[in-house]
Chain A
Amino acid sequence: SAVISQKPSRDICQRGTSLTIQCQVDSQVTMMFWYRQQPGQSLTLIATANQGSEATYESGFVIDKFPISRPNLTFSTLTVSNLSPEDSSIYLCTCVGASGGGGSYNEQFFGPGTRLTVL
């Protein structure tokens, strides 16, 4: 399995500012993803973080609003830009294909999440 840490664990931000969330995995992984869980909603995939290239965004999510970096196989950042109250959510980093771990390739391991509140 993979152990994922996220920073910050929570933050309260003002409208119009940006927040960058860091995700660190304890081993090299094949794929990393970013999800969002809005209050009372399901988890929604924002994008696939590609190592060394631009992220692949899902319908409804754009790079200008959610720029993502993945400089290596263990680390990724998600920035939520120009914040509005609608961006108040839990943001989760996940990975697949942890090397050296047991279990199926098809397991996604989740980080603890970052709870963002926008005032």
Chain B
Amino acid sequence: DQQVKQNSPSLSVQEGRISILNCDYTNSMFDYFLWYKKYPAEGPTFLISISSIKDKNEDGRFTVFLNKSAKHLSLHIVPSQPGDSAVYFCAAGPGTASKLTFGTGTRLQVTL
């Protein structure tokens, strides 16, 4: 039972345009959500998070949107840069960072 789903395994975006990565979850107990970026041969790196009391959190070029009623969150990267090319994981937890449940990841390729 996949409680956190990233339905797009890959995404290709031109440099300078917006990248939108999507994530859906099914567990109503999740109220803290995180995005991680992973380069090959490295561990995931924390990118941005959002708690269920908010619907938007912004950090520089990265914005995460949360739609609780739809159990959906998205990560927007504007403008996209070639260095953003990586695998992005969505993760969710029950209010704390322990016991995170991860999605399967979306591979983002930013082209010149």
List residues of chain A with CB under 8 Å of any chain B CB. 4, 31, 33, 40-45, 48, 58, 92, 94, 96-97, 103-113
Contacts and interface: CB of A to CB of B under 8 A. Distances in A.
7 A-B pairs with the lowest CB-CB distances in the bound complex, closest first: A110-B43, A106-B97, A43-B102, A96-B97, A42-B104, A42-B102, A110-B44
A114 B103 CA distance: 20
Contacts of B105: 42
Interface residues of B, number: 25
B12 interface: no
Given A31-B98, A42-B89, A106-B96, 8 more contacts: A43-B44, A44-B102, A96-B96, A106-B32, A107-B34, A110-B44, A111-B43, A112-B42
A38 to B, nearest CB: 11
B58 to A, nearest CB: 15
